[in-house]
Structure 1
Amino acid sequence: MSCKSCATGGCGTQRGAASGEKTATTGCGSGGCSTGAGSSAGCNKLNSFDWLSDVAMPGLKQYDVVEVKFKGGRKEYYRNVHQLDLTTGDYVVVEMQSGFHIGAVSLQGELVRLQVKKRNVKINDDTKVIHRIATPKDMERHEQAVLRDLPALYRSREIVRELKLNMKLSDVEFQSDNTKATFYYSSEERVDFRELIKMLASEFKARIEMRQISLRQEAGRLGGIGSCGRELCCSTWLTDFKNIATSAARYQNLSLNPAKLSGQCGRLKCCLNYELDTYMDALRDIPTIEKPLETQKGRAYLQKTDIFRKLMWFGYGAESTWHPLPISRVLEITELNKRGIIPESFEVLTPIGDKEPVTAAALNSDLQKLDAKYATKISKKKKKKAKGAGPTAAKPTSNGKAQ
């Protein structure tokens, strides 16, 4: 069965109701459709590639626990007690605390055993089971339940505004049998939503569950494109949200601009931690400059540090010229200042072959060249348009007369 928002119609796996045949498909691969149980973050969100699917395990009974995926990338584990012949992508009817729900098989076999061990999930007789493979009638009821999600979200937001509750509803998920609705919300403070649950229960005629999620989890459920041009990490592969401090930006010499350092969730970007360990290792050799360097030419203040090239740029007072010094030279001048010796200037100490002093504008010369390049292209295009729009000029012949 294909999802409605996919143009190719080739997502998922469908089992014939009468003949029992399987139509195996690999999905559109575009990442923008709602495969399975209506995931809003793409076809392959947090999926594991089953590299053992074509490998037979002689002498071993297949692991009877199956990983089932639901809306928003949520995955749970169910026992296949009826020994159903399942294929990755099959829609199955699974047991819930009250009623049943429909999800898509995302992983099975020995890899599920590894995932269960990794996530420390306890499998026992109380583990919920898979009832059957979804029939066309089951899928019809499931689609009707999915179609209720968006209108219910809009209506519930209106009720929240009427009650003046300080909370943000981000998603709604109806159970396939329409007996339960889960509302996902985020809030900075404790919310008393007892009156809200009563109104929602009478409005949608279902059992209501309110589930609070963090702002990072909310961004992961909704999905989006980051400033890097790629899909958000939290909606594709990142599940462990670690604490991110502003010191991570300081160590990487990033400007403390909240607009640039914040992600779509409003919190500091998770990618600030990706290269932090590399910067921390590189900063071990760089000294801490607590006061300006003393030279006979004047006091030199630290302007910039090139962490990986091990260069420190100093400038005299209000001058726009910055002098690059290697770390060894900075330590040398610092030691001289401690002993009361003031060198003449940086130029005397800089040997031939080292970096020459440059102005602050020269450090950004690449950006200026790039801006100038595109500025000339735009001006040339405007001139061509202006020439094409004006009257054609008469061309003089060899005898001086115009044609």
Structure 2
Amino acid sequence: MRTQTGLLLAHTIVVQAVTFMLRPASAYRALDLDVPAAWLGVLGASFAVVPLVLAVPSGHAVDRFGERRIVLAGSGLLAAAGACFVLFADSVAGLVVASMVLGTGHLCAVVGQQALVANRTAADRYDAAFGYYTFAASLGQALGPGLIVVFGGDRPIPDTGAIFLGATALTLPLLVAAAFLRPSAHHRQAAGPAAGGLAGLLRQPGLVRALAVSCVVLAAVDITLVYLPALGAERGIAAGSIGVLLGLRAVASMASRLLLGRLVAAVGRRGLLVGTVALSAAGVGLLLPPLPLWAMAVVVTVSGLGLGAGQPLTMSFLAESAPPGLRGRAMSLRLTGNRLGQVVIPSAAGALAAGAGAAGVLACTAAGLAGAAVAATGLHQGPPPDPTPRPEREEPC
């Protein structure tokens, strides 16, 4: 089982690293082609449009055909996306098509991975398992931009052709790892007559609340990523200092995910979710008054701890709420809500920023997080962690 865990985490890291190589590289190629700024937005949206439509069907496919097949399909689509960037990136249309293929491959891989974690882990170990999983995803997202420098150099516009080739080469181990993953066999089990498919899934206690909390937390991550630099510009804080603050936030988020199992054992899943989301709300809110840089570093680190724990904890609630045979669809619903939140909430924030500035956007973000913390109090308490050792076959993936 440890081998399977290692394969899944390695696959997760490489999927995110390849995606976070190719997305910025596609923007660099567009700039190299002198693409108008409006088309950059189209290029960015093309990554999310097809996955937004296919998210729930991909979850249904996981529940019907098993996790490995969908993870393998996602890996193949990531390889195809790399090839599309290599062959067709000399035009805007080629970049858009390649980005659509990339987004679809990323979606299939992620839905399959998350369902595999949910289906192969005991309920009282969900938090540790999803903590390790999201830590691996964060690590891959951090490695991806660094690999741009490795393959493309450190020029203002790197050698995108070399980046596309390097990313395509990295997808080959993905196919191998996916082929050796063992499915959970939950796709062979009936979800039960009470489940009632997607409609029944949405009626599961706490599921809609968990989806809403996940959406708000992820949108808050995106908003702070954009508007913390804007706040720095308004207050004359150097870009390098803002970069350090964002780095501290990312490291804090990764630390909270790595220690999630122990934290849940100490305070319980619901208590930890309410506390961490409230902590992130307080952290974002404390950025509103002018602060010295050291105080901002403390506040951003605190908010990073809270924001990092929110995603894996909501995954745990969803996995526990969904019956066996419907967990793929539960994870795909979460991704759909997250994508919608990433489109709608930052867009509304942009409209607000025109009048209220970055501080106004952050104030609304803090209020939204506070509301999410209140909503999280209505989630049912997960099972207490079992202190007795389990056989090796039940280790979390």
Fold shared, TM-score > 0.5 on shorter chain: no
TM range (shorter): under 0.3
Structure number with the higher helix fraction is: 2
More strand by share: 1
Q: Looking at CA atoms only, which structure, 1 or 2, has the larger radius of gyration?
A: 1
More relative contact order, 1 or 2 (CA 8 Å, 6+ apart): 2
